[in-house]
């Protein structure tokens, strides 16, 4: 297809011929016989966006889950009311997501029985690392005697009932955002799972499994982690370490240092990077995939729970880039908002829900935020030039307005492999 009257982010006015790859970028290109033409009408054309860390099945399931985060739940009574009216799955379950103790206090099976005694209910913590089940739910999964009902997502000794998430619906939503590629960060995906995701999504799908490992503060075993990394590298698998606390980051970096680094190793999240760890992270050469959208989504809670002297260590972006660390941005959907444009705005402004700027020195420019949502790997943003992937996002606004607004509503069309997969 031939895209006419496109404007690149640097202001260059051009036409773009695109097939599976971009064929030509130049003004005044002549249409070939029968070639599809699209008039960008002076709108900005950027490389297709890549969400470098999300969870596809969980994000698809979240569309049909009830949300019970602090923004929805005020106390136990409101939690009970939400669960009582929530839609159930075909087998009678209620699936709730986004919970945090600040909503209605700590949850275990007994607390959950108090607000939902009869229907099997499972509530996922907003971190994604654990579920809380009430007694009817524990009976369903064969754990009737479990003392707390708090189960880690990564624990293979139990399993939730299978579900059929609407991946096609999620794919359409991502197309509306201009997303043409994703990296699924779900650990322990098998080859069949990966093939299914790749077949059912319009986007190019990459997966971190089998090299994804979630670290937990109470199970930080440096020797065991080093052995696992060394083994992964020995069979050609890079690792991606989930690090959301300072101890996890310190142990993860030391394990990679001891095991040796693969060029594609990654740190996921790096939610806390203490000043004393920044130099070690830079020296490691390891890429970071982070989510500044959590400043916009959860920043008010950080203001309360994190000492003010440590606010600048949360969800760093600018200092990582200044240190020469390869960085990419992502949403961590469904644990974060799946809209990459909202995440870009958060990286630029770093405003909490109450409009307080958290860590102003970590702000980046709009152009940088957009660039970090492109490319196939951290530190390698995509470019619009001949020979690159034929994945593009066409916007209604010129570059200055695009960068000023960073609004998903400006996406006019999304092109994947030279084919328009979404048009407003």
- Give the residue from 94, 129, 152 where a domain finishes: 152
Question: Quick one: how many helices (H) and strands (E) in the chain?
Answer: 15, 21
DSSP 8-state secondary structure symbol assigned to residue 357: B
Mean pLDDT confidence for 105-128: 95
pLDDT at 129 over 90: no
> What pLDDT does residue 156 have?
78
Whether 115 and 227 share a structural domain: no
Whether 286 and 146 share a structural domain: no
DSSP 8-state secondary structure symbol assigned to residue 333: T
Is residue 201 within a helix (H) or strand (E), and if so which, with residue range? none
- Give the residue from 152, 181, 197 where a domain finishes: 152
Whether residue 210 has a cis bond before it, omega within 30° of 0: yes
Whether 412 and 266 share a structural domain: no
**Residue 115's domain is classified under what CATH number?**
3.10.310.70
Whether 213 and 297 share a structural domain: yes
> What pLDDT does residue 154 have?
76
Number of residues written out for the chain: 424
The SS3 of residue 261 is coil
221-234 tens-digit pLDDT: 999 999 999 999 99
**Residue 402's domain is classified under what CATH number?**
2.30.40.10
Q: pLDDT-based confidence at 139, cuts 50/70/90?
A: very high
Structure tokens at 39: 């008039």
pLDDT at 56 over 90: yes
Residue 159 is assigned to a structural domain of this protein: no
Spatial separation of the C-alpha atoms in residues 23 and 27, rounded to whole Å: 13
> What pLDDT does residue 89 have?
83
CA distances from 371 to 327, 376, 377, 379 (A): 10, 12, 12, 10
Residue 160 is assigned to a structural domain of this protein: no
> What pLDDT does residue 63 have?
83
Spatial separation of the C-alpha atoms in residues 23 and 128, rounded to whole Å: 42
pLDDT at 320 over 80: yes
Residue 158 is assigned to a structural domain of this protein: no
> What is the extent of the structural domain holding 413?
1-45+387-424
Spatial separation of the C-alpha atoms in residues 126 and 123, rounded to whole Å: 9
pLDDT at 163 over 70: no
Strands 212-214 and 240-243: parallel
Mean pLDDT confidence for 20-25: 98
Structural domains in the chain (count): 3
Whether 217 and 142 share a structural domain: no
Residue 343 is assigned to a structural domain of this protein: yes
Whether 2 and 76 share a structural domain: no
**Residue 232's domain is classified under what CATH number?**
3.20.20.140
Whether 359 and 266 share a structural domain: yes
> What pLDDT does residue 164 have?
60
Instruction: Assess contact for 173 and 155: CB atoms under 8 A.
Output: no
Whether 175 and 321 share a structural domain: yes
Structure tokens at 13: 């006015």
The SS3 of residue 113 is helix
Q: At what angle do helices 293-305 and 340-349 cross, to 10 degrees?
A: 50
pLDDT at 254 over 90: yes
Q: What are phi and psi of 48, to 5 degrees?
A: -55, 140
pLDDT at 261 over 80: yes
Structure tokens at 232: 């992964």
Lowest mean pLDDT among 63-72, 113-122, 234-243, 390-399: 63-72
Average pLDDT over the chain reads 95
Whether 19 and 71 share a structural domain: no
> What pLDDT does residue 162 have?
65
Contacts for 27-30: CB closer than 8 Å, 24+ residues apart: 29/2, 29/4
Residue 264 is assigned to a structural domain of this protein: yes
Calculate the CA 406 to chain-centre distance: 18
367-416 tens-digit pLDDT: 999 999 999 999 999 999 999 999 999 999 999 999 999 999 999 999 99
| Torsion of the alpha carbons at 116, 121, 122 and 123, rounded to the nearest 10 | -40
Instruction: Assess contact for 103 and 79: CB atoms under 8 A.
Output: yes
> What pLDDT does residue 73 have?
95
Whether 377 and 393 share a structural domain: no
Spatial separation of the C-alpha atoms in residues 343 and 336, rounded to whole Å: 9
> What pLDDT does residue 411 have?
98
Whether 181 and 260 share a structural domain: yes
Spatial separation of the C-alpha atoms in residues 103 and 74, rounded to whole Å: 5
Residue 157 is assigned to a structural domain of this protein: no
Whether 189 and 303 share a structural domain: yes
Spatial separation of the C-alpha atoms in residues 336 and 125, rounded to whole Å: 12
- Name the burial class of residue 193, with classes exposed (0-12), middle (13-18) and buried (19+) by CB atoms within 10 angstroms of its CB: middle
**Model pTM score:** 0.90
Percent of the chain with pLDDT over 70: 99
Largest CA distance in the chain: 72
Is residue 370 within a helix (H) or strand (E), and if so which, with residue range? helix 366-371
Mean pLDDT confidence for 131-151: 96
Spatial separation of the C-alpha atoms in residues 123 and 3, rounded to whole Å: 47
Mean pLDDT confidence for 69-89: 93
Instruction: Assess contact for 185 and 291: CB atoms under 8 A.
Output: no
Mean pLDDT confidence for 173-191: 96
Is residue 371 within a helix (H) or strand (E), and if so which, with residue range? helix 366-371
């Amino acid at each position: 297809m031939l895209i006419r009257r496109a404007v690149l982010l640097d202001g260059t006015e051009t036409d773009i011929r695109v097939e599976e790859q971009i064929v030509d970028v130049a003004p005044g290109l002549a249409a070939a016989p029968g070639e599809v033409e699209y008039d960008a009408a002076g709108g900005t054309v950027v490389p297709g966006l890549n969400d470098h860390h999300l969870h596809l099945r969980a994000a698809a399931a979240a569309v049909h889950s009830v949300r019970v985060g602090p923004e929805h739940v005020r106390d136990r009574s409101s939690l009970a009311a939400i669960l009582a009216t929530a839609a159930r799955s075909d087998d009678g379950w209620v699936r709730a997501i986004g919970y945090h103790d600040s909503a209605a206090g700590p949850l275990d099976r007994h607390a959950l029985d108090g607000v939902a005694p009869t229907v099997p209910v499972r509530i996922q913590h907003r971190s994604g690392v654990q579920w809380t089940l009430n007694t009817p739910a524990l009976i369903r999964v064969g754990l009737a005697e479990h003392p707390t009902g708090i189960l880690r997502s990564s624990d293979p000794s139990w399993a939730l009932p299978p579900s059929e998430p609407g991946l096609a619906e999620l794919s359409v939503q991502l197309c509306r955002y201009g997303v043409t590629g994703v990296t699924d960060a779900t650990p322990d995906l098998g080859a069949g799972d990966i093939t299914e995701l790749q077949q059912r999504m319009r986007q190019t799908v990459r997966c971190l499994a089998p090299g994804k490992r979630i670290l937990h503060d109470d199970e930080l075993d440096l020797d065991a982690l080093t052995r696992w990394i060394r083994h992964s590298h020995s069979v050609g698998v890079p690792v991606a370490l989930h690090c959301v606390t300072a101890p996890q980051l310190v142990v993860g970096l030391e394990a990679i240092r001891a095991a040796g680094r693969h060029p594609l190793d990654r740190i996921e999240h790096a939610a806390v990077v203490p000043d004393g760890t920044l130099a070690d992270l830079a020296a490691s050469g390891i890429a970071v995939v982070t989510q500044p959208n959590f400043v916009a989504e959860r920043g008010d809670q950080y203001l309360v729970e994190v000492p003010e002297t440590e606010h600048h260590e949360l969800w760093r972006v600018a200092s990582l880039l200044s240190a020469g660390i390869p960085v990419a941005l992502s949403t961590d959907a469904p644990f974060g908002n799946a809209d990459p444009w909202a995440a870009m705005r958060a990286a630029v402004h770093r405003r909490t829900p109450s409009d307080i700027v958290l860590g102003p020195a970590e702000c980046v420019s709009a152009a940088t935020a957009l660039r970090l949502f492109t490319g196939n790997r951290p530190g390698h943003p995509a470019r619009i030039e001949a020979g690159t992937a034929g994945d593009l996002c066409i916007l209604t606004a010129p570059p200055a307005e695009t960068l000023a607004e960073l609004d998903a509503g400006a996406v006019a069309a999304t092109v994947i492999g030279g084919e328009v997969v979404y048009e407003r």
